[in-house]
Amino acid sequence: MLDAERPNPVCGDIYARSFMTDDGLQILDSFKEETKPNASNVGRHRIIDDLLRQELSQHSELTIIIIGAGFDSRGFRLNGGRWIELDEPQVIQHKNERLPTSQSVNQVERLPIDFSTESVEDKLSFVSHTSPVVIVIEGVFQYLDNDTIVDLLHKLKRLFPKHKLICDLMTLEFFENYGRRLHDKINDLGASFRLTLPNPAELFLGNGYKQLEQTSIIKMAVKFEPPGLPDSVLDTLDSSLPKGYDIFVFET
């Protein structure tokens, strides 16, 4: 929301304010000093935006499934595709009240799911796997244990034998060095990270996926931050930037 209100936004999510509430503003205020993590969140979202734009330019009939969609508005902001959003019923209800899917020029479907009692596999069983499918899971995996992640990957592969998966992954070392203070605030809100792997990408590579791309969120956040840095300066800074928080593109 704050990024969209700047003169030169990184994401330009003009719909973000639609979802904001007074309670949300109070929570946001408690994170106002977390400037680097905030910039990383915006950078993370922009990286995935750009990856999806690239996919949509190649496949106009692309189906994009966003699991744990939160207040994602890409189905309204990006051109083309069929968009399917899954999240808890309270989130879906809030989104439908504030931004009905009928206002999108794209086909957007929102599916409420109680992740603790309902199956992602059942919820998505109606989706055809004959057309290209990209699955986005953003800001989610750090809250899941290894067994839950593996179970989800197996379900996705059964549903869509051929698909791409775009997600963010954080190494245990990055969390230990840079993420603890932020995590303490998140923990106060009732959520917690369940990171146990030095290299979480291995979990995907060991369960039927191959890695296509890896993009540093920190490096790109620095690049995106206005007024922006030329690649030559960014490459010079690269060795001094924190490593271990990246966007990955996997393929079955």
pLDDT in tens, 150-203: 999 999 999 999 999 999 999 999 998 888 888 888 888 888 888 778 999 999
Rounded distance, CA 160 to CA 99, Å? 29
Give me the mean pLDDT over the 126-147 stretch: 93
pLDDT of residue 145: 93
Mean pLDDT on 87-91: 97
The one-letter amino acid code at 37 reads P
Domain edges within the chain: 3-251
Find the mean pLDDT for residues 230-245: 85
Enter the tokens of residue 89: 């019923």
Helical (H) or strand (E) element with 15: none
Q: Which two tokens mark 191?
A: 């959520």
Share of the chain above pLDDT 90, in %: 80
Distance between CA 157 and CA 163 in Å, rounded? 8
pLDDT value of position 66: 98
Overall average pLDDT of the 200-217 stretch: 97
**Average pLDDT taken over every residue of the chain:** 93
Classify domain 3-251 at the CATH superfamily level.
Answer: Vaccinia Virus protein VP39 (3.40.50.150)
Q: Would you place residue 59 in the very low, low, confident or very high pLDDT band (cuts 50, 70, 90)?
A: very high
Using alpha carbons, list the distances in angstroms from residue 117 to 73, 101, 113, 114, 120: 26, 26, 8, 6, 10
